[in-house]
Chains A and B, each alone.
Chain A
Amino acid sequence: MFDVLRALGRDLRDSLRDLTPIVVVIAVFELLVLRQPAARLAPLAGGVVLVVIGLTLFIYGLKLALFPVGENLAHALARKGSVFWLIAFAFALGFGTTVAEPALIAVAAEAGKIAAAAGIIEASPESQSRYAGGLRITVALAVGVALVLGVMRIIAGWSLPAMIIGGYGLVMAMTIIAPADIVGIAYDSGGVTTSTVTVPLVAALGVGLASSLQGRNPMLDGFGLIAFASLTPILFVMGYGMVINWT
């Protein structure tokens, strides 16, 4: 029981550390630059507390359930060496973790509201949540594909810079043909996908895989999965925008 409380306390401290710089910077600007009375910020305090509590419980739960099982599986699969299962696992991991990624849920919902306000989609809650849901599934598929590519790269030893630069080239080409209103959301989705849930599990997969293959340097070959996961969503979301425009 005591251990649980101590671990929870550590996660609480981490969430507070995430939020402190934001609160400090905003407070400084509000009080010194904008000279707003502190009372104006009071209604937001409840929400900030909820963010801290929510993030703490979320991370603690992840450490309790998801991370041990996921890491265990990643190592077991990497040792087992069956390429089919590894690839299937990589895809499922990318898809599953991205669907549960809090920042993506929030930003996709916001994108739905903006698209409705601009008249791209119908201005009803249903069509907004359909748009946001479609966006999230698209990004999740993209991260799944990214991890498959990344795992294949680690197994085959392909060059990471060559693949990334090729990916950038594809992004440039698709930017030209994609509708202008999706480009901003697409570029943002690359940075949104990879945070709390995805990064630890994906890193475990990459490093576990590289250290169990002969002739692979975990430092050199284990990383780079996240880089793919930041790149493919850009391509997929631009594709999503093109599909939405046609239908």
Chain B
Amino acid sequence: MDLIIESLAIVGGTALDVLPIAAFLFVFQWLVIGGRMPDRNRILAGFVLVVVGLGCFLVGLEEALFPLGRMMAEQLTDPALIGGVGAAIGEIGHIRWSDYYWVYAFAFSIGFSTALAEPAVLAVALKARDVSGGAIHPWGLRVAVALGVAVGVTLGCFRIVTGTPLPYYIMAGYAVVIVQTWFAPRLIVPLAYDSGGVTTSTVTVPLVAALGLGLAESVPGRSPLLDGFGLVAFAALFPIMSVLGYAQLSQWLGARRAAGGDGPDPPAIASEEE
């Protein structure tokens, strides 16, 4: 019963969230194109579904995805799990970053599997194939993006565990992207930049955010405010590197094949993605 009342309240709130975009579209339709809105009933029904759907989604998020992310972070950092023998003899005080291997394994699996299943990544991969005239294989690119997200989330967890400053990692990542941009095939660059934004879906982002916050709460000496955020940023940055790297690798392999095995120097950048 509480859930129903709560849902109604949230649906009311989401109506306000959807209002601006609805208003903008109607005003522009009226001002610029003029005339009536085609299919008014259909559009009205669509907006009702958007509001109800968004409300249900947000309730579900609060009830399931956030608690799941936190619960996983808590359980995977439990001294009883990671300490093993050490915990039994009371040596919990000295947990090194490498003792959190289950956290890294979980982060890697979540990043890899969600990015591989993400439809937006498939769309980007198909476009990349068209842009490159078939040199870039869609499956290879998808795996490259998924590896990028997986390594990104894992490295992000490592950062939270060690408490090292987030800007250092992001700056280093930007520097790598800038260098890669220099060498990458020109047509792939806008696509690669876009791929950073699209790899993280609506379902993945809250879960990954909750994982980071839960981790910062569970690891001794970390503050959720200073250390808990940043996982989503890692997940958005690393696919840019892996797409640029993969495109370059494909181009280089293609060129080498065309030149009978006597291609240009192997690009050092392509191997830097991991």
Contact = CB atoms under 8 A, between A and B. Distances in A.
B217 to A, nearest CB: 10
Nearest to A52: B60
Contacts of A38: none
B177 to A, nearest CB: 8
Contacts, number: 334
Nearest to A188: B232
Interface residues of B, number: 103
B60 A51 contact: yes
Contact of B76 (A29, A107, A226): A29
A14 B203 CA distance: 12
A53 interface: yes
Interface string A46-80: 11111111111111111111101110110011001
A188 to B, nearest CB: 4
A34 B72 CA distance: 9
**Band of interface residues on A:** 35 or more
A160 B189 contact: yes
A125 B227 CA distance: 23
The secondary structure that dominates the B interface is helix
Interface in B109-155: 109-110, 113-114, 116-120, 127, 130-131
Interface in A84-130: 85, 89, 92-93, 95-97, 99-103, 105-107, 110-111, 114-115, 117-118, 120
Given A54-B59, A114-B225, A18 B43 contact: no
Interface string A150-167: 000000000011001100
Given A18-B117, A110-B210, A66 B76 contact: no
Interface string A138-174: 0000000000000000000000110011001001100
A206 B150 CA distance: 29
Contact of B53 (A30, A54, A73, A114): A54
Given A51-B64, A95-B20, A172-B171, A191 B235 contact: yes
B128 to A, nearest CB: 10
Interface of B: 3, 17-18, 20-25, 28-29, 32-33, 37, 39, 42-68, 72, 75-76, 81, 102, 105-106, 109-110, 113-114, 116-120, 127, 130-131, 166-167, 170-171, 174, 177-178, 181, 186-187, 189-191, 193-194, 196-198, 200-207, 209-210, 213, 223-233, 235-236
